[in-house]
Every structure is written in structure tokens, then in C-alpha cells.
Structure 1
Amino acid sequence: MLSQIGAKEVTPEHEPKLVNVVEEMSLAAGTPRPKIVVLETPALNAFATGTDAKSATIGVTRGLLDTLDRDELQGVVAHEMSHIANRDILYMTAVATLVGLIVFVSNVGRRIAIRGLAFGGGGRSRKGAAGAALIALVIFLVFAILAPIAATLLRMAVSRQREYMADATAVKLTRNPLGLVGALKKIESSSVPMAKMSEAVQHIFISNPLRKFDEQASALFSTHPPIRQRVERLMNLS
């Protein structure tokens, strides 16, 4: 996945400030230092991946490194470290698997229901039973259509709550909510998009790389809460 998004591992010699901040937050979180990578893009974003602390990776964009001060960078790294400590990647993988299973079962059920509606029926003596079966098939078809939508909405809602949780945990690690607030404001004000980013990885970033689309769509289908709402919650912690 890292190679797909163009992430490259860095060393203390090349990125001393970033490595130092990650080491500080690893110590605060009580987890091993994760692998550290940088995406060479002017966009402002960061991410964490890995199913546990030993396999974890934290990545930031070049634009983020060049734009944020140390306190803001610390807030972002603490947020990503929180995802690792809270095992959010594993949690969201399990949720995504469940949603995928629901979608698969619903698709199969929908095809069965459609086929039943197309070929169902019978003689007059079976008219009552056929009518009841028809009603049952219609209900099942409606359920099969709505279930994947409901499951997707649930996955998005869970993702948004994990973002709020990571923000709160980051404040516990840094004891400085204003650092993360400043970082989020700069990320929100940036007009540089993440190029060629798949929807499949949008949930791992601190800010949805597809947020320009999501601003026009329903917030219910977004993997991230609006940044202004995250800022408001963080300010209440200060």
C-alpha cells in the first residue's frame, strides 16, 4: 500500500525533526517507534497504517512538513500515534469486512428476489400462497437494496467517531490541544489536493484527501468529521 501512494521511508539524518517528534510521541503512547515515511507532495496530510504497533507506519506529506511548526507537527503525529495505540486500522478493517459481507449477501439476495418475482406465480388454486410469497419477495428485495446502504453509513459513522477519539487521545499525549487545532486549520485552508488518491485509503488520513468532493456530498457518507467540528471539540478541551 505504501508504494502505491508513493511513500518513502526516512532516516534521522534526512528528517531529524520528524523522527524526533515521532520518537517523543511513541514514548508518550508507550508503543514502539513506527516506521516513518514521507509522501513527496505539496498537499497537507498525514496517515497511519498497520494492524498493530509492531507493524505500524506513520507518514506525512512534504507539504505538511514544510508548513507546520513543531507544536502543530507534534499534534498531527500524536493523532496518528493514537490510531496506532487504539488499533483503529484493525478495528476499521473488521468493520469493512463486515460491511463487505453484508453487501455480498444482499447482492445475492437481491438477485434471488428478482428472479423469484420474474418466474413466480402458479395456478389459481395457489393464488393465495403465491400472493403471500410475492409480498415476501418484495420485502426481501427492499431489504437487500437498503442493507448495503445502511452498512456503508455505519462504517462511515464509525470512522468519524474514531477520528474524534484519535483527536482526544492526541491531546492526552501532547497536553496541548492548540497544536493540533493549528494543524487542522492549516490543513483545511490548503488548496492543494492529494493527487491520484484511491477512495479505499481515504480513511487512513488525518484529513479526507477527497474532502473537496465530500463538501458537496452528504456528511453521512464522509469518513471524516468536518474539520471545523473537530476544532470546536478540541477547543473545548483547552
Structure 2
Amino acid sequence: MLYQQIARNKRRTVLVMAGFFLLVALIGAAIGYLFARSAFGGIIIAGVLALIYMAVIIGQSTDVVMNMNNAHEIHSAKEAPALWHVVEDMAMVAQVPMPRVFIIDDPSPNAFATGNNPEHAAVAATTGLMEIMNREELEAVMGHEMSHVRNYDIRLQTIALALSAAISMLVNFAGNFWWFGGSSNDDDDDNSWGVFAILGSVLLIILAPLAATIAQMALSRNREYLADAGSVELTRNPHGMISALEKLKGAQPMEHVAPSSSGLYISDPEENGHHRWFSDLFATHPPLDARIERLEKM
């Protein structure tokens, strides 16, 4: 089952990448037609920009994500003994290399894992998490993150983050270009130009950001259920994971978090345990109550 999940995640990576490049091509075609009347030229430019952006953010994904979330790295057990040793133990049990360890100065309890693969993974925990979690609960949370690492969920999330950011960059570029003087083509039919301008604007303003959100949600919410179950497998302690999730239910949202990386966290850092019914429709995480219920049934 574990190896099937890893293989499935690798296939999803390919699908996410393919879908992203298709979206980039559509955005490029719209930009090219709107501002230069050359859809093919727009596709080429958008593709080149996206490839450069992706190479940078994926090649340096850990540092980029950690900087976005104001995390600082610790290099030895002396700096945070409890966190360091728990991460070390969970990595050993999960049979993955010891990841880099980061701390986020935020009173809200939360944690996430990131990286391109298990050999270049990193985990981060907030100071709030370390303050309220006991040893068993901290092990459960880090077991959850190690499950993401060994299942290659971190690669999928990192790619989704990079793609969403690149799409936003293209849309912002188009918006700025439009406001500060787009293209003028006096010989074209005004009515035809108006129709295509409206269609292009709709594509850029509505469809592209929506598709970027869908790309970030390309990983099923079920991966959180799987990581919860994976934590129980590693710790042999379902009560530790249940207790940790119960404490997350009462947590306040984080003070400073990059919205584009919300999906990486063990609990939605912008909502945490305070989900509203309408927000669940497009949530990156299942409700904490539903996750607890599944663990109780195991």
C-alpha cells in the first residue's frame, strides 16, 4: 500500500506539471493576443518565463518556502532538544534521511514539511506547537510530517506552490501591462477587438487564478488522512495523533503566513480549527473533527 501511494503521487506530479503547462500556454496565448495580436508569441514568452521561474523555485524550494514563512534553521540538538530528537527519531522510524529542521516564531501551533524529495526535505514547527504539545503529541505531529516526506507529498505540494506562484506572476504582469499602456492596433475591427479583449480579460482575471487554486488543491484532501494514518503507523500511538489534533482545534490562526503555502501545514494556518461551512468547500485540509473521527475508528 505504501509503495502504491508513492507511485501514485509520482504520477500525480506528472499530471500537475502537464496541467500547469497547458494553463501557462493558455495564459500566454491570451496575453500575446491581447497586447501583440500574436497568440503563439505569447505562448513562447510565457513558457520561457515559467520554466525559468520553476527552475529557480523548485531548485531552491526549501529555502524559498522557509523564507516565505519566516522560519529560521536550527543546526543541532542544543538549540531545540525536544524538537530535534523527535524529528531524528521519526525520520529513523520512517527510514528517510534526517531532514533540515526549522522553527517559526509564532504562538499558533502548527508544522509543515517541504522539499523536493526525502533527501532534500525540511520540517518546520512553530514555537506555539512546541509549547503546547507534550512528547507523544509532538511525535505524532512529526510522524505526520515524516509520512508526507516518505510518500513524496512534499514534492507535490512544492510543485503546486511553485506553479501557483508562477501563474500569479504572469497574471500580475498582464494586469500591470494593461494599466500602463497595452497594445494599440488601429487597423483591426473595433467590435472584434472588444469581444476578444473581454474574453481575454475574463481568462486572465478569473480563470487563471481559479486554475492556480485548483493546481494547489490537486493533491486530494485524502493525503492528510493518509498522513494521519501514517503517523499512527510510525508512532504506534493513535491517541497521540488524536490528542494533537484536538489541541489544534482550539488554536488561533497564525499571525504571519504566506497564503500560497497554507496547504503545506498540518492544519490550515489561516483558519486552524475555526473552519466555517463555506470555507470547507475550497479548503486544502479536511475538517479536524473528520480527521479525528477517522483515527478513532482505526
Alpha-carbon shift at residue 221 of structure 1 (Å): 1.8
C-alpha distance in 2 between matches for 1:101 and 1:22: 32
Deviation for aligned residue 1:220 = 2.5
Work out the number of aligned pairs and report it.
228
Kindly provide the amino acid, as one letter, of the partner of residue 234 in structure 2. L
Give the Cα–Cα distance (whole angstroms) in 2 for the partners of residues 152 and 76 of structure 1: 28
Partners in 1 of 2:170 and 2:295 — Cα distance?
Answer: 40
Shift of 1:94: 3.6
- Contact kept, 8 Å, 1:156 with 1:220, in 2: the verdict is no
Is 1:28 the equivalent of 2:93?
Answer: yes
**Cα–Cα, structure 1 residues 42 and 212, in superposed 2: closer, same or farther, change >3 Å?**
closer
Answering whether residue 285 of structure 2 is matched by residue 220 of structure 1, we say no
CA distance in 1, matches of 2:162, 2:79: 38
Question: 1:169 pairs with 226, 230, 254, which one?
Answer: 230
Question: What percent of counterpart residues are identical?
Answer: 34
Query: 1 CA distance for matches of 2:147 and 2:73?
Result: 22
Q: CA deviation at 1:104?
A: 9.3
Offset of 1:154 from its aligned partner?
3.8
Which runs of no fewer than 5 residues in structure 2 stay unpaired?
1-62, 173-185, 190-194
Whether 1:210 aligns to 2:270 is yes
The C-alpha deviation readout for 1:49-108, integer Å capped at 9, x for no partner, is: 11112221111111111111111110000011111111212113444566678889999x
SS of corresponding position for 1:59: strand
After superposition, give the CA deviation of every residue in 1:118-164 in whole Å (9 maximum; x if it has no partner): x9xx9xxxxxxxxxxxx9x9999988887547635643543452222
Aligned mates of 1:14, 1:52 — CA distance in 2: 25
Cα 1:211–1:170, aligned 2, differ >3 Å: closer, same or farther?
A: same
- Partners of 1:214 and 1:222 within 8 A in 2: no
Distance across 1 between alignment mates of 2:167 and 2:93: 39
Q: Distance in 1 between matches of 2:170 and 2:110?
A: 36
TM-score for both structures, normalised by structure 1: 0.74
Aligned match of 2:156: 91
2:239 corresponds to which of 145, 160, 178: 178
Which stretches in structure 1 are left out of the alignment for 5+ residues?
108-118, 123-134
Q: Deviations over 1:213-232 (max 9, x none)?
A: 98344313211111111111
- Which of 199, 207, 215 is matched with 2:259 structurally? 199
CA contact (8 A) 2:245 2:288 kept: yes
Amino acid across the alignment from 2:106: T
Whose radius of gyration is greater, 1 or 2?
1
Q: 2:273, 2:83 → 1: CA distance?
A: 30
Q: Is the alpha carbon distance of 1:152 and 1:46 closer, same or farther for their aligned partners in structure 2, counting shifts above 3 Å?
A: same
